[in-house]
Structure 1
Amino acid sequence: MTDTALVIGGTRFIGRHAVEDLIENDYRVTTLTRGNREDPFADDDRVSHVDGDRTNDRDLEAAKLSADPDVVIDCVAYHPADVEAATDLFADVDAYVYVSSGAAYGAEHVPKREGETPLEECTSEQATDDSDATYGNRKAAGDRGVFAAAEDGVNAMAVRPCIVYGPHDHTERLDYWIDRVLTCDRVVVPGDGQNLWHRAYVEDVARALRVVAERGDPGAAYNVGDRRALTLEETLETIAAVADTTCTVVPASADALAAGGLEPSDFTLYREYPHLLDTCALADLGWESTPVEEAMARSVADHRESDRDGSEWDPGREAEERVLGVKDTI
């Protein structure tokens, strides 16, 4: 008998890749989305679709009746109430997997480990907020909802990705750096280039969601990220290598950046303190990550085929040129 899966949110980025991974592994898949975006699976007879809002209990129930899922992958639970409603409704499924985040961690440990590194607290006000400032708090509260459901007998688990990148990445954070490498001979990076913000290739995240559904322990959380984490400078060098081009990475201190009216935080994927997740628990389930060179090559190829350029993250090339001018005089 073919296993069935319901993916709550399955047309944009992580959810889209989760659907692709599931159907490649012989699942019959149903997606639940509001229908606000083009459905990449509209012509795929292996994927059914239900229009609905996951925050509407009737829509969620309709999706359950339509899919009759063995597995539920919840990609768009942004508030703890979403997790509570889902773990209640899907209490009888074989596996409920909540997409949490590395942002749920509330302490700057290196690396961050499941069950050891404290999670963010979440007040009642934060639990219903929609701002970026409370994202980690809300994800942590969702994790605690998963743990509570598991104590009540629900086969619920959480997967915590760090920054996710790869094909169809609507955030365009990595696209900014790819565009810089492809179009500029010299690329300014903040600091000494050694800052580290752990990232996870999206196909690996999708595979992790399925592996956890199939083999994970109820009430457990699993970090997911590249098994080899790259510094920002290494990231640009890897982009250049797989793109068969060259560029000079120019590290710039805060003082040098000030010449262009810039600060380190003006650059996407910059983080002053290293963010690194321990992925051993997931690896123990048999999960493996894609080699970073291969993951980056696929990401660059997708960037070239898309119209994404990461311009919303652009601190301004003219400002960078002023920084480069200062660097040249030192």
Structure 2
Amino acid sequence: MKLSRRGVIQAAAALGAVQVLGCASSTRAGDDKGGDAPGRPLNILILGGTRFLGPALVQAAQARGHTLTLFNRGKSNPGLFPDVEKLQGDRDPNKGEGLKALQGRKWDAVIDTSGYVPRIVKASAELLAPNVGQYVFISSVSVYKEMTKKDLNESDAVGTIPDETKEEIDDLSYGPLKALCERAAEAAMPGRTLNIRPGLIVGPDDGSDRFTYWPLRVAKGGEVLAPGDGEDPVQVIDARDLAAFIIRNVERRTQGIFNVTGPVQPMKMKGMLETLREATGSDARFTWVDAAFLEQQKVTAFGDMPAWVPRTGPESGIGAASIAKAIQAGLVTRPLADTARDTLTWFHALPKDRQEKLRSGLSEEREREVLAAWHQTKGTARAD
């Protein structure tokens, strides 16, 4: 089963290209769980910084005493963080003032949350190289070439594209372009680059609803269409845990490549949904529908069934990447139940019209249709 919208939407929604309504969530006590005290205060530049992972990074850095500067176009959530320095420009040096606002400035580190095109990452990395100690690039586990491989690790080969000058982002080019961005950053700042390869980023402020769908649906209760047989591995990481990992490794001047997803303890689809049922206190009853039937019904993995990747599919490795290296470097993930509850609290505070338009998952009507077809095929009665 081919994943739906894994390319552009995985990149854009996870790191901010989908418009987020509402404000960044406040950092709760205990969100920064690393076990180590902050080092000396740092001056950190964030390219982006006003959507999803960006605000989580700002909050994690401020909680540990660091000073932030945000560089972006000033179009998304401009009112966030009034106490933080903001520089305006464009990542593309060929547009408007480009990177002019960054010239002549010095920072201890830069975190690039918004790089998708190698030419543009190359421009910022080369400009900043003389005046910045470390370049942190937010990449993706989608960079890997062999997506069916279990326990994908940082030494595995990355995908390629015939034309490395291509700048159109689609399902085929997204991963290879991210890999080329990593290479561009490392070429500009050899030995001073930290490449972060996240999996599915989730939690409050996620404008894609790729995880939000599940706690919302489970909380409603009743018969829930559950994909596969419950044994497919699932990996998600709360944006706040990802941000905490990044900031701690900026403090340590860590370099190299890290798969950063979660949870730290392996999780399967059945475990995820049962955890959500317990966290929401619902009476949800799961009807497991196999991948072949869902494909016949044109129900897509990762789109109609968010976060789910069939373990026998062509991209099965995306749900089972190795995070051993990140754990060794201090990765800590909060309980999924906490992420679910915080996500629901955030979502229910959004405007009503936004709540009525989920951006991932099946509609109630479509779910009922697929469940009815499944029961008819199997000669079983509906669970409700």
TM range (shorter): 0.7 to 0.9
Identity rate of aligned residues, in percent?
A: 24
Which structure exhibits the higher relative contact order, with contacts defined as CA atoms closer than 8 Å and separated by 6 or more residues?
2
Unmatched segments (≥5 aa) in structure 1: none
Aligned pair partner of 2:115 in 77, 96, 103: 77
Which of the numbers 127, 146, 154 marks the counterpart of 1:114?
154
Relative to structure 1, is the Cα distance of residues 197 and 55 closer, same or farther in structure 2, using a 3 angstrom cutoff? farther
Q: 1:308 to 1:100 in 2, by over 3 A?
A: farther
Q: In the TM superposition, what are the counterparts of 1:2-17 in structure 2 within 5 Å?
A: 2-17=41-56
Equivalent of 1:189 in 221, 226, 237: 226
Residue 142 (structure 2) pairs with residue 98 (structure 1): no
TM-score by length of 2: 0.76
| Residue in 2 that maps onto 1:327 | 375
* Change in 2 beyond 3 A, CA 1:134/1:177: same
Q: 1:161 and 1:167 mapped to 2: Cα distance?
A: 17
Deviation at 1:83, TM superposition (A): 2.2
In structure 1, C-alpha distance between the alignment counterparts of 2:109 and 2:63, rounded to whole Å: 15
Contact 1:100-1:158 at 8 Å conserved across structures:
yes
Structure 1 contact 157–217 (Cα < 8 Å) conserved: yes
Aligned to 1:50: 87
The SS at the match of 1:267 is: coil
TM-superposed CA distance for 1:312, in Å, is: 2.9
TM-score, normalising length from structure 1? Answer: 0.88
Q: Find the counterpart in structure 2 of residue 178 from structure 1.
A: 215
Q: What's the C-alpha RMSD, in Å, of the aligned pairs?
A: 2.4
Amino acid at match of 1:327: H
- Which residues of structure 2 form unaligned runs of 5+? 1-39, 311-315
Q: Number of paired residues?
A: 322
Q: Secondary structure at the residue paired with 2:150?
A: coil
Instruction: State the secondary structure of the residue aligned to 1:11.
Output: coil
2:204 pairs, out of 167, 177, 185, with 167
Name the amino acid aligned to 1:76: S
In the TM superposition, what whole-angstrom CA distance separates every residue of 1:188-238 from its partner, at most 9, and x where no partner exists?
Answer: 0222132224211111111122123222543x1111111124323322222
Q: Which residue type is aligned with residue 211 of structure 1?
A: R
Partner Cα distance (1:62, 1:264) in 2: 43
Distance 1:127-1:22 versus aligned 2 partners, 3 A rule: farther
CA contact (8 A) 1:256 1:327 kept: no
Q: Which amino acid aligns with 2:349?
A: E
Q: 2: CA distance between counterparts of 1:252 and 1:240?
A: 18
Q: Residue 26 of structure 1: SS of its match in structure 2?
A: coil
Letter in 2 for 1:289: T
Residues 37 and 29 of structure 1, relative CA distance in 2, 3 Å threshold: same
Residues 127 and 205 of structure 1, relative CA distance in 2, 3 Å threshold: farther
* 1:225-253, Cα deviation, whole Å (9 max, x unpaired): 11124323322222222222231111112
Q: Which amino acid aligns with 2:112?
A: D
8 Å CA contact 1:224, 1:279 repeated in 2: yes
Matches within 5 A, 1:241-260: 241-254=278-291, 256-257=293-294
The answer to whether the aligner puts 1:292 opposite 2:336 as a matched pair is yes
**In 2, are the aligned partners of 1:87 and 1:156 still within 8 Å (CA)?**
no
Please name the residue that 2:237 is paired with. Answer: 200
Q: CA deviation at 1:98?
A: 0.3
Relative to its length, the structure with more helix (as a share) is: 1
